[in-house]
Amino acid sequence: MLDSYGRKISYLRVGVTDFCNLRCVYCMPPEGVPPRSHGEILRFEEIERVVRVATRLGIDKVRLTGGEPLVRRGIVDLVRIIAGIPGIDDLALTTNGTKLAEMASGLKAAGLRRVNISLDSLKPERFKEITRGGDLGQVWRGIEAARREGLTPIKLNVVIMRGVNDDEMAEFAGLTISQDLHIRFIELMSLGRESWHGLRHVPSSELKMRLEDAPEGGLAGRPLEAVPGQDGDGPARYYRFAGAQGTIGFISAVSDHFCHSCNRLRLTPGGKLRSCLLSNGESDLLGPLRRGMTDAELEAFLARAIAEKPAKQGTGAALEDWLRENPSARFMSQIGG
């Protein structure tokens, strides 16, 4: 279905839990997010129903996210259920990778196509600090398992923070030279941590310039070439170092909005439908679903959310102001980042 600005909405991100087994400094408070009872999160059959009805409106791609989706009990069953819905052509998952080594093969067998894995440092000690306790080796074993199982192309999401991990950019980019890995540098957003992040934010334009000049990681003298149109209408701009196997993407939600090509809706673990990551517009679906909403009503509900999708969110200072002023700008793990 087209929204009122002519964008084709075909992608649903489903947050399956807001819990996580890590506590990344930019995403979660040290104590984690407040616990919710089972009754407060969408059940699998409710998620299945929303996805099935959404396919009538042209949704053909689903990504499971969170929190950490692999800590939701029965997640492999949910993958199987969604993969079996006629009209879903692409089913992906965003994970911190900690449980992938043991789960990759079951996920693949259940119908998962591919994974994005978040990884903010290649240094074990630093990784542990950023994630407040994570084990880098465990994540690498997860990446290897995903590769073995063909959960590809594998994209690594790297949130760059000034003075924290920006010195590792070239090393990350260097991984793409000899491996079929796709590195996506993500601009830090201030969701939930407004005081901390301003100092740490590095605009993608600066990252790109620094990479082009980097002598490390086997990058010296290699031109960075634009890769047009990768990943449909996704938010990243992609490049490739000459002769490299993988690509480099820049996701710049803060310095450069990509709203004109936004093709997605979000369903939160608590059953709220959001048509924009960075705006207040969200509507409760959990209540109506449990009060006996019919499929026709559900379809109309989804169609309304698509029709009301905002044209764009501000960027730079305007976005910063919005995030500060809006109490509904919650942690990413609660929205399904």
Residue 85 near residue 55, CB atoms below 8 Å: yes
Q: Point out the residue whose Cβ comes nearest to ligand SAM.
A: 337
Footprint of ligand SAM on this chain (CB under 6 A)?
20, 26-27, 65-66, 68, 94-96, 118, 157, 159, 186, 188-189, 191, 332-333, 337
- Rounded Cα distance between 304 and 209, Å, is 42
Cβ proximity to ligand SF4, 21 vs 245, nearer residue: 21
Where in 108-137 is the site for ligand SF4 (CB under 6 A)?
Answer: 118
Tell me, residue by residue from 183 to 222, as one string, x for binding to ligand SF4 by CB under 6 A and - for no binding.
----------------------------------------
From the list ligand SF4, ligand SAM, none, pick the one residue 250 interacts with, judged by a Cβ distance below 5 to 8 Å according to partner type: none
Asked whether 276 and 309 are in contact (CB, 8 A), the reply is yes
Residue 65 interacts, among ligand SAM, ligand SF4, none and using kind-specific CB cut-offs from 5 to 8 Å, with ligand SAM
- CB under 5 to 8 A by kind: which of ligand SAM, ligand SF4, none does 28 bind? ligand SF4
Range 53-72, binding ligand SF4 (CB under 6 A): 66-68
CA 117 to CA 64: how far, in whole Å?
Answer: 12
The answer for residues whose C-beta is within 8 angstroms of residue 172's C-beta and 6 or more apart is: 122, 156, 158, 183, 185, 217
User: Which is nearer to ligand SF4, 53 or 323 (by Cβ)?
Assistant: 323
Min separation Cβ 158 and ligand SF4, Å: 11
Residues 26 to 45 in contact with ligand SF4, rule: CB under 6 A? 27-28
Which of ligand SF4, ligand SAM, none is residue 282 near (CB under 5 to 8 Å by kind)? none
Compute the least distance from the CB of residue 248 to ligand SAM, in Å: 16
Cis (ω within 30 of 0) for the bond into 153? yes
Provide, rounded to whole angstroms, the least separation between the CB of residue 174 and ligand SF4: 23
Which of 7, 15, 16, 23: binder of ligand SF4 (CB under 6 A)? 23
* Helix/strand/coil (H/E/C) assignment for every residue in the chain: CECCCCCECCEEEEECCCCCCCCCCCCCCCCCCCCCCHHHCCCHHHHHHHHHHHHCCCCCEEEEECCCHHHCCCHHHHHHHHHCCCCCCEEEEEECCCCHHHHHHHHHHHCCCEEEEECCCCCHHHHHHHHCCCCHHHHHHHHHHHHHHCCCCEEEEEEEECCCCHHHHHHHHHHHHHCCEEEEEEECCCCCCHHHHHHHECCHHHHHHHHHCCCCCCCCCCCEEEECCCCCCCCCEEEEECCCCCCEEEECCCCCCCHHHCCEEEECCCCEEECCCCCCCEEECHHHHHCCCCHHHHHHHHHHHHHCCCCCCCCHHHHHHHHHHCCCCCCHHHHCC
Residue 269 in contact with ligand SF4, rule: CB under 6 A:
no
Size of the site for ligand SF4 (CB under 6 A): 12
Q: Write down the least CB distance from residue 303 to ligand SAM, Å.
A: 27
What x-and-dash track marks residues 67-106 binding ligand SF4 by CB under 6 A? xx---------------------------x----------
Contact of residue 315 among ligand SF4, ligand SAM, none (CB under 5-8 Å per partner type): none
- Residue in 218, 333, 334, 335 binding ligand SF4, rule: CB under 6 A: 333
Closest CB to ligand SAM among residues 13, 240: 13
Contacting residues toward ligand SF4, per CB under 6 A: 20, 22-24, 27-28, 66-68, 96, 118, 333
